[in-house]
Amino acid sequence: MARRCLRDDGLFLLHTIGKNRAGAGIDPWIEKYIFPNGTLPSASEMAFYSEDQFVMEDWHNLGEDYDKTLMAWHARFEAAWPALKDRYGEHFYRMWRYYLLCCAGTFRARDNQLWQVVLSPSGQAGGYRRPLL
């Protein structure tokens, strides 16, 4: 799908959460309540499934920082909860809190990764250069 949407000189940024091992699967609770039919690809699976469609120009791992992001979301959720609790209820509170903290733990343990992969249909002329921040 992504390849069909790109011009020949276009770029595709894939921002995804992944796992360290192929076939590791997704947590059953998260599968049931948060991301039904979700998948967490491994690096080898991403390379395998993209190799006939794209040239991998850049791969950046933001996983180390995503633990901090999830913990910041958790802090904001806790701070906002008094204003939300009548609308969403205790069940939602427990589920969302569990989700944020469980996911933060997987990133802190470095079991999950957050990747940004830049892909091009047939390679960038002169090579791809990541913009300096």
Catalytic residue among 40, 46, 103, 114: 103
**103 counts as catalytic:** yes
CB atoms within 10 A of CB 3: 13
Q: List the one residue out of 55, 56, 54, 73 whose CA is nearest residue 65.
A: 73
DSSP 32: H
Q: Is 132 helix (H, G, I), strand (E, B) or coil?
A: coil
Report how far residue 69's alpha carbon sits from residue 96's, in angstroms, rounded to the nearest whole number: 15
Which residues are annotated as catalytic?
Answer: 103
